[in-house]
Every structure is written in structure tokens, then in C-alpha cells.
Amino acid sequence: MAAAVSEEAASRAEEHKLQANAYIKEKKFALAVEYYNKAIDLNPGNHVYYGNRSLAQIRLENYGSAIIDADKCIELNPGYVKAYYRRADANLALNKLKLALLDFRRASKYAPKDPDLRRKLQQCEKAVRVLNFEKALATPKEEIIPEHTKIVLEDIVVEDTHTGCRMTQNEEGKDVVTLEFVLDMIEDFKKGKNLHKRYAYAIILGALEVIRELPNVVHVESPKGGKFTVCGDVHGQFYDFLNIFELNGMPSETNPYLFNGDFVDRGSWSAEIIFTLFALKCLYPSSLHLARGNHETKNMNKLYGFEGEIQAKYTNQMADVFREVFCWLPLGHIINDKAFVVHGGLFASDDVTIADLQSFDRNREPPDEGYMCEMLWSDPQEALGRAPSKRGVALQFGPDITKAFLERNNLELVIRSHEVRDEGYTVEHDGFLVTVFSAPNYCDHMGNKGAFITFSGDDFKMNFTQFSAVEHPDVKPMAYANNYLFGG
């Protein structure tokens, strides 16, 4: 039984809730959470505040926190249907389909005529049936023939009528990526053209040939007299991605880049970004560096659009080949033996060394715990120590954890991405940790700036460049996302 509160406290709490609701409508979700927090502090027994805050946490992708809020809302009022709905949405986002289905069924008992709820329930039921069917028919791992080994480029003919960009061939008759081809390909993408299937596979298989030879954590150097650029999430925002090159120059042997994961999903030009990055990796294997993010994974691609986009623009088989290649992407980089760059963050254990991170087989989908999961999913926090993740995956780590990791591994800085930042970047943990995010106006509604980092090759001085979103064709984010999670 919640303790009674004064009329004044209840009234002030309602004012904070109304302000938070207004921020939700304005898509200022972090501010909404802040004002729901104030409402809850004044009146902790009002279930609606937790239910509403759960929605704001979902919009911030803090799915673990959203589930906690929905749990509290249901504890206070078991008949509040929105709480089941929101807990289901959060579990869907974490690909916990069976848990989501339980809540959609519970919600439907309270609101059996809600059309949106009925649709999500039916689609979630279908997804669970498909999942169970796939498990029942699953081939033992040792018997699986990788899809990429079935591609025979010579059997894919480029028709004389093909009007798009064309690769040249070397003396052995092998398709070769050149800078001219990359630039022509980008121009074709701007016109809404797809690659010819032969060239698409040539790029994917060429990138695989390079990245599968790399260690889990790659050591790289910034060029003397030049600069080294680190970019964060670009998430399928192709025109903003190209703007980075407009501002900072195309990648080359004298202008190296590291893209720190989450190339795909969310935005609706993930194919164009990944083909550009993979082609540049083929062209400049030692100067264009790619790290795996939590969205270069099967479950995320199925939910957030990349799988659907490749199936729509190319083929189902190509989506499977991308899934296999993503499993070979390195998980981290060390620049100039000073900066550790990883998509997510640090670890549940106090004694992790770089040697430990080199010791496991990364060619797999990420597990639910352990080093690989933490490298892809962890987030920093202001408080000391560690805490459960607001996302519901991996953990949060404080400044003491960052400093101890750096000291243990004789490093000076952690750079990570993985989270939207209003200004495109933040410097945290007493200057020892930097977050960089390179998708401005994320999903066309967050209003944030993008940023990238450049390091001087002479003194390793760190500089930040901020940039705003540019215009793009009228295709909405999530155009290819799974509709039981995002509607449509």
C-alpha cells in the first residue's frame, strides 16, 4: 500500500507529469524522464508515472529501465493495460519474443478490442511460431554450409544492358574495387540505384577476405604529419554519412578512418552505407577500419531493418551472407598504443587484459554475457562501481572501472559509441572516456548533432568536429524494420 501524500505534493507531481507528457510529444525523451522522476519523487504511489516513464525509456532505448518501470506500474495497478503493452515492447526490442507474447496476451484480456494491440499480438504469435519452427528444423552447427561459400561470382553475369557502375577486372579476370568505382557507386546510390548482384557479392566477399584475418582487437597507428579519424554510429543515415567525407575528406592511405560499429539498422540506407564501407575496406585494407557494433548482429538486424532492407533491395541469401561476415568484424582497436576503441564499453570483471580479449573466437553471434557481450553493449555511468544496464543487456561502469582498466593495460583513453549524445560527443570519467555518435538528428527526430574525432599523427591531440543533419530523400527511418515492433 503506497503511503498517502499531501494535496500539495500530489498537485505538484501532476504538474511535473504534464510537463513530461509535453516533452514526450516534442520527442525530448531525456527531459521527459527527468520530469517523471520529479513526479515520482513527490508521489511514488501513482502507477501512471511509472507507466509513462517506461514509454520514455523505450524511446531512449533503455529497455531494461523500461521493464523495471512497467513492473512497478503493474505492482501498483495490475489492471493498467499500458504497462503490459510497454513491457512487451521493451522485451520485443531485446528479442525476448516469448516474454513479449505473454504480456501482449495479458494486455488483450484487459483491452480485447484494441486494434493495435490485436495486430501486435497476432504478429508476435506468428514470430514465436516461426522461431519454434526454425529451432525444430535447425541443422547441427557442424553440418551447416556457410552461405558465403556457395557464391560463385563467375556464374553471375553482368548483362550488356546494365547501366550502373561497373568494376574493372585484373589480369586474372577478378573484379577489382577502384576509387573510381567507389565514387561511381556512391553516385548511383544517390540516384536510388542498387548495385549489380555480382558486384555486391564481390565487395562483401572481398571485405570478408580482409577482416577474417584480423585479431579481435586491432592495433592501428595515426600517420605522421596527418590525422586519424574515429566515427561513431551512423545507423543507415547514408546522406549524413557522406557528409562526414565532405567535411573531413574521403578515406585514403593518408586519411585513415575507424568506424566504431552500428553502421546499419534504424536508418533506411543501411545497404548503401555498408557497401561503401566494405568497398573502401577492400580498397584501403590498412586505412579503413571497422569495428562490430551491437547492431551488426542477427537479432538486431531482424528487428531494426537491415535484414528487411537487404531482402527488399537484393536477396534473402545476401542477408544471410552479411550475417556471416558481420561475425568476423573485429571487436576493438587500439590507436597508437594509447586509446582503446570499442563500440559499447567495459567489463564485469576487474582483471581483464587486452590479451584476454584476443583469446576467444569472435566468429559467432554475441552471447548474453561475457567479454563479447560487454564490448558491444556496456555503457558508462557517473557513479563509481558497476550497476545493472538500463538497456537490459551487459552492465554500466563507473569512472573507477575505466581508470583501473586503463592502468592495467597501460593505456590512456577509452573511446566508445553506442549512445546518442546531444552534442555528438561527451568527455566523461574525468577525461578518460569519450563517447562519439555520428548520426545527427538520429532517426529524424532526436535533434542531436553528430560528431567525429580526429587525432593528430604528431602529438596525438584529440579534436572534435560537430555537424548537423543534411537533407535526404523522403524515406522514413525504420522503413524496413519489423512491423510488429514499429508499426506499419
- The DSSP secondary structure of 96-121, one letter per residue, reads -HHHHHHHHHHHHHH-TT-HHHHHHH
- The residue among 105, 100, 202 whose CA lies nearest residue 151 is 202
Catalytic residue among 148, 295, 333, 429: 295
Neighbours of 108 (CB within 10 A): 19
Q: pLDDT exceeding 70 applies to what percent of the chain?
A: 97
Q: pLDDT, tens digit, for every residue of 268-305?
A: 999 999 999 999 999 999 999 999 999 999 999 998 99
pLDDT band at 145 (very low <50, low <70, confident <90, very high): confident
Q: What is the pTM of this model?
A: 0.92
Residue 148 annotated in active site: no
Tell me the C-alpha distance between 477 and 488, whole Å: 12
Q: Which fold has domain 7-137?
A: 1.25.40
Examine the pLDDT at 143 and tell me if it is beyond 60: yes
Place of cell 507528457: 21
The residue extents of the domains of the chain are 7-137, 168-486
Q: pLDDT, tens digit, for every residue of 444-482?
A: 988 999 999 999 988 999 999 999 999 999 999 999 987
What pLDDT, on the 0 to 100 scale, is given for residue 182? 98
Angle between helices 81-93 and 115-137 (to 10 degrees): 40
CATH of region 168-486, choose from 3.60.21.10, 3.50.50.60, 3.30.56.10, 3.10.110.10: 3.60.21.10
Examine the pLDDT at 1 and tell me if it is beyond 60: no
Ramachandran region of residue 34, left (φ > 0), alpha (ψ -120 to 50) or beta?
alpha
Mean pLDDT, all residues of the chain: 94
Q: pLDDT, tens digit, for every residue of 65-123?
A: 999 999 999 999 999 999 998 999 999 888 888 999 999 999 888 888 888 888 888 88
What pLDDT, on the 0 to 100 scale, is given for residue 484? 57
Examine the pLDDT at 408 and tell me if it is beyond 80: yes
CB 43 within 8 A of CB 13: yes
What pLDDT, on the 0 to 100 scale, is given for residue 138? 64
- The residue among 110, 36, 94 whose CA lies nearest residue 69 is 36
pLDDT band at 488 (very low <50, low <70, confident <90, very high): very low
CB 217 within 8 A of CB 331: yes
